[in-house]
Amino acid sequence: MKTLAERFKRARVAAGLSQADLARATGISTAGISLIETGQTRSLKAKSALAIEKATGFSSRWLETGLGPEKIDNPAGVYAEEVQAIVAELTTGALVDAVLAALPRLSKADALRLHNACISKLIDE
């Protein structure tokens, strides 16, 4: 893939995110997401690149340059601390608020871990 726009769209689609989902997850406006994806933005600010990396699991270096591995080394660990905190909340009864607050920012792997923890908690009760 030769352009930022092509790589960006690949990352967004592979992550299963709509433009609106990615905008919410990164703090970039929906219009900004569209500008990147249509090639009207030729480079990313560091803050935006890292937010996109966290939301999609695709390397910010690869997104910007096409060099290096596409995926970050540990996409499931991006929000691992947050997931561990939510799992800890399972024992205090604040599950619903914690889950709803975190879901928009979780990787698929962390969302699956959270799902499994919730199911285990429900089965145990």
In 3D, which of 56, 66, 59, 69 has the Cα closest to residue 109?
56
Which CATH code, of 1.10.260.40, 2.60.120.10, 2.30.130.10, 2.60.130.10, is assigned to 4-72? 1.10.260.40
In 3D, which of 8, 5, 125 has the Cα closest to residue 70?
8
Distance CA 1, CA 7 (A): 6
Note the Cα 112 to chain centre separation in Å. 13
pTM for the model stands at 0.59
Distance CA 118, CA 110 (A): 12
Of the given ranges (1-15, 18-32, 76-90), which has the lowest mean pLDDT? 76-90
Per domain, the residue ranges of the chain are 4-72, 76-124
Place of tokens 């699956």: 112
Query: Residue 67: pLDDT above 60?
Result: yes
